[in-house]
Each structure stands twice: as C-alpha cells, then as structure tokens.
Structure 1
Amino acid sequence: MSLYEKIMNKEEKISLVGLGYVGMPIAIAFAKQVEVIGYDNNTAKIEQYLQGVDSTLEVGDQAIQETSMEFTDDPSRLRDAKFHIIAVPTPINQDKTPNLTPVTSATQTVGENLVKGSIVVYESTVYPGVTEDICIPLLEEASGLTHGEDFIVGYSPERINPGDKVNTLEKIVKIVSASDNAYLDEIAQVYEIVVEAGVHKASSMKVAEAAKVVENSQRDINIAFMNELALVFDRMGIDSQDVIDAMDTKWNALGFTPGLVGGHCIGVDPYYFVYEAENLGYHSQIISAGREINDSMGEFIADKIIKKLVVSGKTPKEAKVVILGLTFKEGTPDVRNSKVEDIILRLREYGIEPAVSDQWADAEEAKEIYDVELTDLEEVSEADCLVFAVSHPEFKEMAVAEADALFKDLPNDEKIVIDVKSVLDKESYAEAGYNFWRL
C-alpha cells in the first residue's frame, strides 16, 4: 500500500511545518480530508490557534475552531507523520541576499524527527538547486537516514495570494516535483486531495523551483515598467491612470499598474534569482533594473509629498501627514516587507513623523518592525496631507466628505491627497478643489 493510500485510510498523517499565510490554508484544506499535524515553533501563534483565532485572516476564526487539525509547537509530534510539507518564509538579508535560515531551521527540525518511508515536500520559495544541494544533505545529517532509500524529497512552490478570496489554494494549479520521479505520481496524488484545479508535474525540482521565482520576477518586471512610466509621466504632467485607462481598451493590454511592490513574494523572489545568477557568473540586467525601480518608489512618493507641502505654503516638518495603510497589500494583515516603510523613512529624513492608520495591521508588529505607533482611524484629525498608501476596502470606499473630516480647517486647495494605488475618484476630489495627486 502506498503512502498516499495510507494517508487516505488515515493510517498515516500529513504534517504542515510553518502555519502562516501559506501553511495555514494548506493545513486547513488537508484536515478536511485526512489527519493533519500543524506545527509551528512560534508558541504564541500556536496558542492563538488553540483559542480559535486566525491572526492571518486567511481562513477565518471559524475554520480554525472547526478543524480537526492538531496544533502543536512540540517538534517530536512530527514523528507521527510521514508526509511533511515545509511552508516557512524565505526572506532576504539587508544586502538583498537570500536568507535561508527559516528553511534550514525547519529542515533541521523535520530531520531530527524523520522516520523511514517519509516524503518531505518544500513549498518555500528558493533559487534553483537549494532543495537538492542544501536541504537534502541537511535532512540526511539530522536524521541519520539516507535519501533515496529511507526518504524522498519533493518541491511544490506555494502560489497562495494573501488576502485573495477568489484565487484560493483549491483553484490554483499546483506544480509538483520529486527528487525521484518514481514518486512524482504519489506526491501529485496527495496534493490532488485538496487542489481541485489539478497539478502540473515538473520534470525536476530545479524546474519547479525556477518556475516560482520566474513567475514572480515576471510580475515584478511588468510593474517596474509601469512605475518607470509613472516617473516619466509625472515629469510630463500626464496622469498615469488616464494613460492606463486608454491603453487598457486594447484586447492584449496586460493590466499592470504602478505602485509599491513589497511583501514576501514579488518584492523578494527576484533577488533569489539574481543571487544565483551572479554566483554562476551572470549579472542580471532586466530583473535587477526592475528591482531597482520598484525599490525606489517609496522615496519618490515621499519626495512628492514634500513638494506638495512646500508648494502649498507649508513647512514640511510642521505639517501633519497621515498615511492610511501599512500592510504590504490590501485585504491582509501581513506587514512583512511593506514598502510603505520607505515612505515613512524618507519623511523622517525631513523631520516628519507621520501618523499611520491601518486597522488590518497588528499594532505590536507595526511597533516592533517599523517603530510605528498605529492610530485608530476614528482618532485621525487635523491632517495637512492624507496618503492613501494601501487600498483597504475602508479607504477605497471613503467618500470625499469622510476624507474632509480628517483634515484641518483649511481651504480645499491646501488639503493634499496622495493616491498611491489610484483607487480614489479623482473627479470628485478635483471638483471639490483638493490638491490631488496619484501615482
């Protein structure tokens, strides 16, 4: 009997290592069909889950409360599973090089609790070769077992889009690969338990690793192109969104828009590709240039805020700037690698300490990561400038009158509105006479 059959018969279990924005939806989906052990080394996070609270907002409190999954921070419980899925973050260091510590740490933990006959599948985004060259040797060393004889490794890149309630795990084709293609069908069968869209069997783990890095690099480059256009259009006095609206009337327009590019995927994955390319003696040109442009947008927006303040006759460091939104994208509490930070840091260089409001973000994380004290939206007042940095629903739907209540008692042409995501009704603000600018 195969491991897949034993899992389906509930004779063997699946473990999820890393219960964050990626791991939790996978774990919850599998737990509806088979027995699952959900492991995370963050005790506070596990305690929240045990209390039925979903801090990621990806699956919701009810799903946490109703799941049959076993939540644990005890690594020894992993010995009761034979199909392990590792879904931990893969951030970058300050110098933009890959930080593989979360992956290697998780690998060590799984290795120390690995039993014969197991399959270990990695979902964390890495550059091609990491799973074979780094993870497999670590598993062998930590477990004392032999790869290929005692256990098999697979790679299946995560494709979950945080905050997206339409393109969910079940509806996204899953790429799967194996260190031994004799086990590829079995790994595919396990994922097909929950992935309704089906699987794509990659020819090798390196191909699967590369596919994930490339799909995010492609998006990064396309957004960088739009950001470069926005930089030039601003000098030309042309509204970028007006150009996009006109361009999008053609059937083959790609639908990309300018903006801040952060988060744990698009703002990170290209650096993994660049790093390995340079290790092989090739200096990336297009991808590196795209990253440079996208990483510069926060400073550009901050400088635009300063110029607007000066032209409006305000002394920048005496002005009150309110930033609406801190998370890396709308509809998620995830603040990892948020490029709103770049706006904040640049404003601080000018002596401005902006007020920041984001009901989606965790106040403790905001303070710990960005040294930002979040302000409740109801408490925002006396603003000289409102910066709509993240298109959370409550900001997108804010009427002009609601926004006006957050300003000082000023003539409308001195009330500055910065629309980073181009989600506000430009005409409404223009008719009301606001000093309005969008990227």
Structure 2
Amino acid sequence: MLFYTIADSTDIKASEMHLAAAQIIGAALALVLSLSIIPAQRAAELFSISVLQQFAKDRALLGVFLILVATTMLSLLLGTRWSVRLDPKMSLVLQFLLLGISFDALRRFYVSTLNLLAPESAIRQIVRVSSAQIRRIGRAAEKVVAIQVVANGAPSKMDQTLHAQTIVRTRLPQGLQHSIAQLEEFAHRFIARRDSNATIETLGALETIATEYSDLRKKSITLHVDPKFPFAGYLSDVSDVLNPIYESILHIIEDAIAAKNERVVQHSISSMGRMTLQAMSVVAPGAAEQRVAPLAYSACFYLHRAARLVLAANMPDAKLRAISSFGAVLQNRSTDVGSTETTMEANEALFDIAVDGYGKSDQISVFRSFEAILFAVRFEIENDLFEVGSLKSTLDQISELIPSEILADAAGKRRLHVFPAYALGFEASIPALVENRGKDQG
C-alpha cells in the first residue's frame, strides 16, 4: 500500500518488472522440479522404493507445483499488458502479491521435503491413506446394506454377509496387506539403523490398522471352517488382514532380538497384547446360539509364539511384558462369550514361562506367571465361569513343578519367598480360592 501511494506511475516500467518476476518464479519452478528428485531418492534409500508413490501423491508438493505454475503464468500475463485499464502501480502491487505467494510456496516445499525424510512422516502418511480407505469403504458398505434393508423392508441375517462381500470386493484387504508389507520393511530398516523410536512408531501404525479394520468388520463377521484344518474351529476372513500383521510383528521381534534391542521387543509384545484384547471384543454368533470371539485365538496364538521367541532370547523385561499381556487376556474375558481355546492358549503360555524361569533361576517370572494363572481361576469363580477341570488343570501344573520348587528351596533360593499357590498372604492362593468357592456355593 505504501508503494501504491508514493510511487509515480509515469516513471514505472511495469512490463519489464513483470517479465523479470516471471523469470524469477520460473527459475524457482525449475529448481523445485530438479531438487525434488534428491529427497525422493534419499527417502527411497532410507525407507523403501514404495515411498516414491507417497511422494508422487503428496498434496503439499503438488500444490507447490501448481502455485508456481499459476504465478508464473499470471506474471507473464501482466507483462503482456493484457489490460490497458489496469494501472501500472496496481499491477505491480499484484505482482508483489504473486511473488509473496511464490516464496511462501517455496517455504512449503522446503518443509514438505524435510518431512519426507522424517520416518514418522512416512509412517503417518501410510496410516492416513489406510485409514481413509477403511472409512470410505466402510461408508460404502453401510450404504449398500441400507439400500438392501429398504428393499427388504426389515434387517435380515444376510445383511452381515452383504456388508462383508462389499468390503472384500473393493479389494480393501489386499490394499491393507500392501501397507502392512511397507511398514514391516520400514521397521527392518529402522532396526538396522538402531532407530528404536521409528520402529516403535511403525508398531503403533500396524496396531492402528489392525484396530480400525477389526472395528470395521464388527458388523460383518462371517464364520467358516477350513476343510484343511477342520478342528481349528470357526475362522473368519478378517484374519486375512490381521494374521499378516501378527506375522510382521513376529519378524520385527526376531530382527530386534538379533540386534539385542529389548526396548523394541517389549513394545512389540505390548502391541500384540493390546491387539489380542481388541480381537476378544469382536463377537459373532456361533453354534447353538453361543457367542464366540473368532479372532481371539489367532491373536493369542501369535502372542504365544512371540513369548517363545522372548524366552529363547532370555529378555527378562520382555518376559514380564508377556506375562502382563496374558494376564490381561485372562482377566478381560466376557462372561457370555465362549473363549475356551483362547484361555487354554494363554494358560499354556504362562506355564511355559514358569518352566523356563525354573531352568534359568528366574524366580520373578515363575512367581508372576503363576500369580496370573491363579488370578484367572479367581476371575472364573467370581464371574460364575468356574469349572472343576480348570482348577484341576492348574493343580496338575503345580504338581509338575513341585520337584523344581524343591530343588530351588534346597538351593536356598526360596528363603524370603513363598510359592504363590501356597502363600497365605496372596489373595489368589489355593486356600483363598477354596474359601471363595465355598462362599460362592453357599
């Protein structure tokens, strides 16, 4: 405004200034096009070649390119004196605005290219794209079901099947599997560079995709029996997305163990534990009108596999994370949902940890794992889920470990500690369980 007020319009060569400004902006545009290859190439080396697709689709970079093209063309247009009525001072004011917009776009390009090289930015971009796909296809599936309800006049059992078929036909599972593979590749590269924070961010991204997809499929869980494994129980096509995530986390754990990165292993175990709890919340009707959680056993099975890797690597803190995760699984069972297979798998995992603790003189993991087992029995008693076979199985496990406990006591490792099953001060000891059972019957 100061320029517009003071400048003398009779002594201004506006056309030359416009053309000079167009040259400046055009040079900036050429610089953007040439320099953008360098961060893209560097990002492909740091992460994977697939990140170039995200770079090509980045809206910020596309916006910078379009802004610079538009300001260059407008500057050339002002330089041609396309409007005789336009005052030279006013045209220069417009030119200064165009230059300001162009410089701001260059600043945006600088920030975007730096974000491209940040691991968190690439990971969040993949999660953002996957989440957008899940939401968009979820809305489309709900619309298809709503149309079917209007056509039939009332909801029916076929609505769930239609919802699932709509999601599968859009090839959403295949798209998510591609994102999962990308994230796993990122994690392996981060572990090789000893970047624990970026690896943990990747684990969070895998957990987010698993949670959002399972939430989407809560409305359309369809069950089937695999003819190759008829005794595996009811299965669901939701596992086509969840199982690759579990497998990816197992591979990340193996890689982290090889790199002796226990922090990543701990977060991996915690992520799988939370995903198991999420899987337990997805319920579907089973045989004889019994409600089942068809995704829970698979998640607990993979968590057990992860725990075995931790036991073989002898990572004490990660073992405690595994014990806490299995304990949470046993304590968060729904009273009206069948979860026998999941319960057995969690108990078996805790028993394996206890046995491993005796072999390595790790009394903390021994006591913590059996505390979790006994708390699970108390949970069953308090929630009317108790079965005699459950307590008998626990007693059988304790009897198997009595020789090891005697050896530990003889070696002087139990002077200040009492085995949880017999510790009168422990609220879930066998005497306390028997007392609680008697009160429950009374």
TM over 0.5: no
Normalising to structure 2: TM-score of the pair?
0.25
User: Which structure carries more strand by proportion?
Assistant: 1
Larger radius of gyration: 2
* Larger relative helix fraction: 2
